[in-house]
Amino acid sequence: MKLAWIGFLALGLVAAQVPAGMVVVAVPMRDGYVSACDLADFLGLALVVSREELQVGELRYVYGIGWLQGSYPPPRPGVGCPELPLAAAAQVLGVNTRIEFVPPGTERMPAPPLSLAAGLGYDQVPFATAQGPVELHVVRADLQLLEPQVLFSSGQRAPVGELAQAAGALAALNVNYFDPPTGLPIGLIRSGGRLLQDPYNPRAAIGVRGQEVRIARVSRAAQIFTSGQRIDPALIDSLQVLSAGVALLAPGERALVVQGGTLMGRSDSPVAVPPGAAAIIYQPGLIPVLDQARPLVSMQVNRTWSDPFWAGAEEAAGAGPLLVQHSQVVSDFSPERFQADVTQRRTSRGGVGLDRQGRLVLFAGGPLSLEELAQAAVALGLLDAMQVDSGSSTSLVVAGQRVNGLGEGRAVPVALGLLPRQ
């Protein structure tokens, strides 16, 4: 059965007199139908819908809700997401939820009461978009009192709240993208001064060295020599070279593993990069010398960071795209080579930035386009900012609570936490 991932839209909570324990959800309704994406995002789940299921009116949730079946009419096509009849929507949300249909601008519930540590601030900030107002959840951290730390689950995904609790973090936001089938993170990871995974050139990352924090595009260039011959640098631009982490391969890609100046072997499936080794990921046929290389031939890989800061960073995590640089919206996201599901849909989004007071800012909200997220970052007064993995992965946790949605959110491999300085 062929499955298609569906995007997510954010819902707000509205102020109303309701019985204790009941949640009121404000959702847009069109002719008696509501968006399945709205409901999925409210529940903090990834929603999968197949073509066959669309025909019979069944939805399957990835993380344990089970099958939803009923005698209601099947979903109809929507803008980027199928729409459910009202009866089906009520079945999804359950007996303890009442759906209210409200006009844009209806007063929302106040921010949840949170006990915050010194140097940590949390607020809900309205942001106007062409589609209506959106609520941004914003955390500002004084870096004199708090230190950013990469929370890495060592290959096991977990909700951001669990990662934060395990590390003693006062607030945390998911960061790196990851490969859904394996759960393995994608992009730069440095934790405790150790390089755990190379950057995905040249995507944006956040790095920490002492009390200095940077947000910028980062890459780690490579020089490759085989049998003493240097491979043309123009050809190397078509490669990814990893000297730490796991080499994840797209369909048709291959990895060569080089260690100690010798080609040790090749792989057509994901491969862990041993300490002191490097993996060259390439498309067969593009660089003949790599296709012809045989195990145990001489091959050497030299690496150079785009900025020495990243070589000495104690903590770093990669995501992207870069949204704002020097207080200006980044106009071209294409150098970071993201697919359309990241750059073009309206969905829940999150980001991290630095403001004019030198504070680190974590923010999340939606539904937003990528351009709107960049504009929101400027409106928050950020000098530099980048997006983190978004959609159903977006989770901002403050004082143990996920503030941008109900439930604990999707399990992720990497988060950025804020801890008291020792």
Radius of gyration (Cα) for the chain, nearest Å? 23
pLDDT digits (tens, 9 = 90+) for 320-371: 999 999 999 998 999 998 988 899 888 899 999 999 999 999 999 988 999 9
Q: What is the mean pLDDT of residues 193-215?
A: 92
| Span 276-302, average pLDDT | 87
pTM of the model: 0.71
Q: What is the pLDDT of residues 242-270, one digit of tens each?
A: 888 888 887 888 999 999 889 998 899 88
What pLDDT was estimated at residue 32?
59
- pLDDT at position 200 is 87
Q: What's residue 183's pLDDT?
A: 83
Sheet holding 47-50, edge to edge: 3-5, 47-50, 59-61, 67-68
Please give the average per-residue pLDDT across 7-12, as a whole number: 26
Give the contacts of 159 (CB within 8 A, at least 6 positions apart): 395, 402, 408, 409, 410, 411, 412
Structural contact between residues 174 and 398, judged by C-beta atoms closer than 8 angstroms = no
Largest Cα span, the chain: 76
Secondary structure element (H or E) that encloses residue 288, with its range:
helix 288-292
Mean residue pLDDT of the chain comes to 77
Helix axes 86-93, 36-43, angle to 10 degrees: 10
Q: Name the residue with higher pLDDT: 318 or 113.
A: 318
Dump pLDDT digits (tens) for 50-88. Answer: 333 333 233 333 222 233 333 344 555 554 556 666 555
